[in-house]
Amino acid sequence: MTTATTGRTTPKGVVGTAHTRVEGVEKVTGAARYAGEIPFADLAHGWLVLSTVARGRIISVEDGPVLAMPGVRAVLHHGNAPRLETHFQGVIGPPDPTTTLFQNDRVAHLGWPVALVVAETSEQAREAAESLLVHYEEEPHDVDFRGDRPEAYPVDGFAPGVVEKGDLEAELAASAHVVDAQYTTPEEHHSMMEPHAAAARWDGGRLEIVDSNQSTTWVQSDLAQMFSLEPSAVRVRSEHIGGGFGSKGVRVHQVAAVMAATVLQRPVRVVLTRRQMFPLTGYRSPTSQRVRLGADAEGRLRALEHRSVSQTSTVHTFVEPSAGVPRVMVDAPAHHTANLVVPLDVPTPTFMRAPGEAPGSFALESALDELAEKCGLDPIELRVRNEPERSPVSGQPFGARNLLACFHEGARRFGWADRDPRPGVRREGRWLLGTGVAGASFHAGAGPSTALATAEADGSFTVRISAADIGTGARTALTLVAADALRVPVDRVRVHIGDSDFGPAMFAGGSMGTRSWAWAVDAAAEELRERLALGATIPPEGITVRSDTTDAVRRLAQTERHSYGAQFAEVAVDTATGEVRVRRMLGIFAAGRIVNPLTARNQLVGGMIWGISMALHEEAVRDRASGGLYGGDLAGYHVATHADVPLVEADWVEDHDPDDPVGIKGVGEVGVVGAAAAIANAVRHATGVRHRHLPIRPDRVL
């Protein structure tokens, strides 16, 4: 399966060929140091104390006895902490008051940060923190998320809250087939392998922070504003990162470390425990989504409504924009979408891999499957009949939209043509078998970045960019891009990342990291190669070229562009226990030019496995009495394990973003999109029962 491509190709280049991670040996031998283990002389250790009430005020913090404990150097809390700037426009918006620590006596949720104990050792800090008595005036709390809460209000996030065109009720009334269904997804957590950790120290009037984050630019800029410093007075490094998934932006650990390092005038490290991550580092909000679809007799949509309600905290607004999915996937004369939030006494949710798309695709792609069934159409044929040429919202053309190519190639490889559409007819002993399909999309954008490319006197090349490799293989991808742009072998290029001193760069998020950085690396390396081609002699300090893509990336605004995919799943459902086993999954994606097939496949397969987890396992349950989670740790929060993951294959059709210098779109998030819907649709096909609430637990199946 190929589609026409335009733009530059590099026939003999390394972009597009499999390459193991350039830092792989360092990582597997333990030589790669993470933020929590980089040594500092005279390091003190901070331990956070979290509230034991879900709402109220702190009356007093009994720090006296704790200050007398062995090794304790300070107890910071709202009564003595340095004042911070709390009103500013950060890199992604105003700061979440959860992160501007200890500025008042309010407690906004269970597990709210109320104090930091600093001691000579981590063990001493922990023991003292666990002994600290905090007195509260408790107030009644409300953590009861429901989709029908009347306080729900629409919120503009990165997209408008409400987008409406056409007369919805009239088109529904005139439709031959109507689906009206309510879907729910639970609170979900991205508890990445490496917990949040940061060390901060003052060094000759400059603040240095060693951290684990998705953007040193973001952390540098926001912390500088919070502590009223010039950005140039703050250096943030974050070289190796054990997962991010949206959670590793500005968080309490960096702020706590900087506060303590400032008060004590010595280096301080703060590492979060797994249990502290659950209330403090963001999560995916539960959603309640109503989808109404109306189609004519041929299965062409006349009406679409997608209304999604999610929760936020009482101190900060974050919207999970699930209703954004139909704005990309399908059009209809009446097309109404709305994202609403309910503020509750809960931690602020945040970006979690495919925010909006992951839960939104579960609802929409399930509803489309329901509609196909009502229309007597194959679900892929329904998609073919409803494939839009232009954005239903902006009216802009879709750049390089290869969604149908994904469906067709996936159908061929999965053996879709042999499928008996009747539900509940395939049996194997006590197992019922079924197959399902769903579409996927994720926005493909780029953010401004700067890069430095240096020709060294020894004939090698050094690239510096404040990129973040959160496990994606970004550093390796950038090495390949630089090698091609310089027309040199890979082993002559070294890429240094994760240092704010390299200049501002896009964050590792929105599936835009590698794409944005590659653009800047390509620009700097190309210009350097041109300079060298003119016969420049290289001085001992080398020749350095700096790129800045701020103007270049603007051209992307002319069209709406996305990565796409088609997810196929086969499941077996145990009629005795209600257990659902995924037997195989196939995802075919159109995600732009693939820089490194090895790590791109990892990204896509990782997303699909997350989809299995979302469909069948993940569910954080909030206890109304305490306001906290039942089992807010990896013992109580179930994720897919090896035994749950069968053959999962990801591949792609040729796709090339003609407006990108390398042709990249992005692979970080599209892999999870639609995966849960494909599984739910397969369960429906296997059993004849539609599951609209995730996860599809055995007790729900029986």
Please, what is the minimum distance in Å from the beta carbon of residue 445 to ligand MOS?
11
Is residue 188 among the annotated active site residues? no
Please, what is the minimum distance in Å from the beta carbon of residue 284 to ligand MOS?
9
Residue 100: C-alpha distances to residues 27, 84, 103 (Å): 33, 7, 7
Contacts of 635 (CB under 8 A, 6+ apart): none
Cβ proximity to ligand MOS: between 122 and 599 the closer is: 599
Please, what is the minimum distance in Å from the beta carbon of residue 27 to ligand MOS?
21
Question: Contact 260/116 with Cβ under 8 angstroms?
Answer: yes
Residue 621 corresponds to which tokens in the numbers above?
Answer: 């349950």
Contacts of 105 (CB under 8 A, 6+ apart): 57, 58, 59, 78
Question: Contact 357/189 with Cβ under 8 angstroms?
Answer: no
Of all residues in the shown chain, the one whose CB is closest to ligand MOS is 246
Question: Contact 561/532 with Cβ under 8 angstroms?
Answer: no
**Cα–Cα distance, 677 to 419 (Å, whole number):** 18
Among the listed residues 610, 634, 630, the one whose alpha carbon sits nearest the alpha carbon of residue 620: 630
Question: Which residue out of 187, 188, 320, 669 is catalytically annotated?
Answer: 669
**Cα–Cα distance, 666 to 607 (Å, whole number):** 13
Residue 338 corresponds to which tokens in the numbers above?
Answer: 């709305």
663 alpha-carbon distance from chain centroid: 22
45 alpha-carbon distance from chain centroid: 29
Please, what is the minimum distance in Å from the beta carbon of residue 104 to ligand MOS?
29
Torsion of CA 64, 43, 236, 74, to 10 degrees: 10
How many beta carbons lie within 10 A of that of residue 496, not counting itself? 16
How many beta carbons lie within 10 A of that of residue 113, not counting itself? 22
Pairing of strands 113-119, 72-77: antiparallel
Question: Contact 113/280 with Cβ under 8 angstroms?
Answer: yes
**Cα–Cα distance, 392 to 439 (Å, whole number):** 17
Cβ proximity to ligand MOS: between 416 and 507 the closer is: 507
Residues at the site binding ligand MOS, with contacts judged by CB under 6 A: 214, 244-246, 351-353, 355, 509-510
Q: How would you write 83-118 as a 3-class SS string? A: CCCCCCCECCECCCCCCCCCCCCEECCCCCEEEEEE
Residue 141 corresponds to which tokens in the numbers above?
Answer: 């709390």
Question: Contact 10/659 with Cβ under 8 angstroms?
Answer: no
Q: List residues bridging with 271 in a β-sheet.
A: 197
Please, what is the minimum distance in Å from the beta carbon of residue 672 to ligand MOS?
10
- Which contacts of 68-72 are long-range, i.e. CB under 8 A and separated by 24 or more positions? 69/119, 69/124, 69/127, 69/128, 69/131, 70/119, 70/124, 71/119, 71/120, 71/121, 71/124, 71/125, 71/128, 72/117, 72/118, 72/119, 72/124, 72/125, 72/128
362 alpha-carbon distance from chain centroid: 16
Question: Contact 52/137 with Cβ under 8 angstroms?
Answer: no
Cβ proximity to ligand MOS: between 72 and 667 the closer is: 667
Residue 622 corresponds to which tokens in the numbers above?
Answer: 């909030």
The residue whose two tokens read 């109304």 is 624
Among the listed residues 63, 97, 94, the one whose alpha carbon sits nearest the alpha carbon of residue 80: 63
Residue 315 corresponds to which tokens in the numbers above?
Answer: 């101190």
507 φ, ψ to 5°? Answer: -80, 165
Cβ proximity to ligand MOS: between 112 and 442 the closer is: 442
**Cα–Cα distance, 684 to 399 (Å, whole number):** 34
Please, what is the minimum distance in Å from the beta carbon of residue 351 to ligand MOS?
4
- Across 516-536, b (16+ Cβ under 10 Å) vs e yields bbbbbbbbbbbebbeebeeee
**Cα–Cα distance, 548 to 546 (Å, whole number):** 7
Question: Contact 310/322 with Cβ under 8 angstroms?
Answer: yes
Please, what is the minimum distance in Å from the beta carbon of residue 353 to ligand MOS?
5
Among the listed residues 312, 239, 243, 315, the one whose alpha carbon sits nearest the alpha carbon of residue 274: 243
**Cα–Cα distance, 83 to 86 (Å, whole number):** 9
Rg (alpha carbons) of the chain, rounded to whole number: 26
- Which residue numbers are catalytic? 669
